[in-house]
Amino acid sequence: MSIQDIVTSATSQTSLSQQAAVRVLVVDDSIVIRQLVVKMLESHPSIRVVGTARNGLDALEKIEQLHPNLVTLDVEMPELDGLGTLKILQQRFPRVRVIMCSSYTQRGASVTIDALLAGADDYVTKQHGGKISEGGFDRMKEDLIAKIKQIFDLDRQYQVFKSKPVPPMTARECPVKRPVPKRWNGAARVAPKILAIGVSTGGPTALAEILPSIPADFPLPIVIVQHMPPLFTQLLAERLTALSKLNVVEGKDGMVLKPGRVILAPGNFHMEVVRSVGGIQIALNQNEQENSCRPAVDVLFRSVAEVYGGAVIATVLTGMGQDGLLGTRILKDLGASILVQDKATSVVWGMPGVIADAQLADAVLPLGQIVPNILKCLYV
């Protein structure tokens, strides 16, 4: 079956056979970077580079000709940059997946955040200046291939095209399944006192949808781990504040939790909540990575469980890997309410999927129903 045949018969979960390869177009204004990215990708037997392009205009022409499943898209290019290309690409080729390739600079990070909020699936960082060291090559290759493997499910069958939008379900169609009240330290289940969110791949877009839906008088503090490096988390917090009724800030040591404040874990730091004389505060550390992550969702969730017991709403959104699984298990045993995003609306159903598979979730919900069900959980 040809690629065109697959496109014609595609459903929202179209798959390629095990013998097929993910078709990739590499877009970068540097010929050196293009060659290096091609070398990275062609080291994997299930990835086929079908072409390269030097800028956005060139890329759009070649997408028409080559029908890639994925585009790796440089952020900063002449004539038509990555963000401009992405916006046109999503209108003309909405099923093509996009991974941004960002330089680790203020400009690169800023445009990358805007691209993620505009619908790019993920990003990788590269060294600035058109050169990649041997160690940098290996890190970028590992990161890029890992993300392609998650998006296209290379270990099983490839999910080539983005899922079609899922119509929002009504509360009646997807009610929160109330957990059986549990006891913790001899006390009955109590009303929640904090909302804790874990998210990774596809997270900026997901957060940009749910946070603006949370009312300004939301009565709980909100803490979030989004897997991202330094600089990116600061810029993400700024963008989310501009979109939301709540103030989103990057976490700092000693920052006090209070109703309606949204605290985002800073890149390269684990974030915990701790009880102190001044109230419940944020504590940061650079302990070893967990689940190959820092910040890690498990670190945050464990600390939330220690401070709040079961008086927690824990939400796990789209993301690769299984960060958050162990922390969720602890919270579930204490009687917390656990909500996870469903497969149809997730960019990658890794983190929420393992929680659902472990039967720890009280509800598995489309993204549009996460906030309505969080609000329901306020009343036990």
* Range list for CATH 3.40.50.2300 in the chain: 3-159
pLDDT tens-digit map of 63-95 = 999 999 999 999 988 889 999 999 999 999 999
DSSP character at residue 293: B
What is the rounded CA–CA span in Å between residue 114 and residue 120?
9
Q: Is the bond preceding residue 295 a cis peptide, omega within 30 degrees?
A: yes
In this structure, are residues 113 and 83 in contact, taking their beta carbons and an 8 Å threshold? no
Tell me the β-bridge partners of 88.
none
Level-2 CATH architecture, domain 3-159: 3-Layer(aba) Sandwich (3.40)
Which of these is catalytic: 74, 122, 323, 342? 323
Q: CA 216, 217, 223: angle at the middle one, nearest 5?
A: 75
Alpha helices in the chain (DSSP H): 3-8, 31-42, 56-66, 82-92, 106-117, 134-152, 203-210, 232-243, 297-308, 325-334, 351-357, 370-377
Asked about 81 being catalytic, the answer comes back as: no
What is the rounded CA–CA span in Å between residue 103 and residue 340?
32
| pTM for this predicted structure | 0.85
Which of these is catalytic: 58, 81, 227, 342? 227
* Range list for CATH 3.40.50.180 in the chain: 194-377
Asked about 30 being catalytic, the answer comes back as: no
Name 311's Cβ contacts closer than 8 Å, sequence gap at least 6: 190, 191, 192, 193, 194, 336
Mapping DSSP onto H, E and C, the string for 134-174 reads HHHHHHHHHHHHHHHHHHHCCCCCEECCCCCCCCCCCCCCC
What one-letter code names the amino acid at 291? N
CATH topology of domain 194-377: Rossmann fold (3.40.50)
Asked about 227 being catalytic, the answer comes back as: yes
Integer CA distances (angstroms), 60 to 66, 68, 144, 187, in order: 10, 11, 22, 61
Which of these is catalytic: 102, 103, 110, 200? 200
What is the rounded CA–CA span in Å between residue 306 and residue 273?
9
In this structure, are residues 200 and 323 in contact, taking their beta carbons and an 8 Å threshold? yes
What is the rounded CA–CA span in Å between residue 295 and residue 288?
10
| One pLDDT digit (tens) per residue for the chain, 380 residues | 333 433 333 322 333 444 478 999 999 999 999 999 999 999 999 999 999 999 999 999 999 999 999 999 999 888 899 999 999 999 999 999 999 998 877 888 999 999 999 999 999 988 655 556 666 788 899 999 999 998 887 655 444 444 444 444 433 333 344 443 443 334 355 799 999 999 999 999 999 999 999 999 999 999 999 999 999 999 999 999 999 999 999 999 999 999 989 999 999 999 999 999 889 999 999 999 999 999 999 999 999 999 999 999 999 999 999 999 999 999 999 999 999 999 999 999 999 999 999 999 999 999 999 999 999 999 76
